Amino acid sequence: MRKLFRFKYEPCNKTCYAYCEVLMTELRKMSQDDREILVSNMVKAHNQLCDNPDYSFGVDVDEDNEVFVSHFRTPKTTDLYSSKHFPDCVREVCGVVLATDIPKTNGECTFGDNGAEDLGREILKYCTDIGYAEVLKKHCECKN
């Protein structure tokens, strides 16, 4: 299994967002409009749990079986979802996150409501700006 992305607040990093370059590969397969809609949905779900370390969600890929597996972790459960299609897996887990009443907490996520970075723009830039992607690819956790 390889992580595509995870939204989980980590106070030491001041961010909720971690990703693998495979995420961008999957997003690049989509039309620009569909990609923008899906990323917007991911960002809305991030905003729902931003800064709360008790909640997280993400998507992994099982490359051997060609299936995407997503998770949504709460203090009481970890729910798993799967699909052969990346966008479907993302939409499903984001829908569950958005439908959940998650307590707001104060934090300093770089991509949060008070953050300095626009998470959606950051992800979309990585999908379209090859030079930018090459720099970030060097830091991809799945390469380690």
The Cα–Cα gap between 40 and 55 comes to: 19
> Are the C-beta atoms of residues 8 and 17 closer than 8 Å to each other?
no
d(CA 12, CA 140): 18
- Sheet with strand 2-10: strands edge to edge: 15-19, 2-10, 56-62, 67-73, 78-83
* Whole-Å CA distances, 10 to 28, 54, 110: 28, 10, 11
pLDDT tens string 96-129: 999 999 998 877 777 766 555 688 888 888 777 7
pLDDT band at 75 (very low <50, low <70, confident <90, very high): very high
Q: Which of 51, 43, 56, 41 is nearest to 114 (CA)?
A: 51
* pLDDT tens readout for residues 64-74: 999 999 999 99
DSSP letter assigned to residue 57: E
pLDDT of residue 114: 58
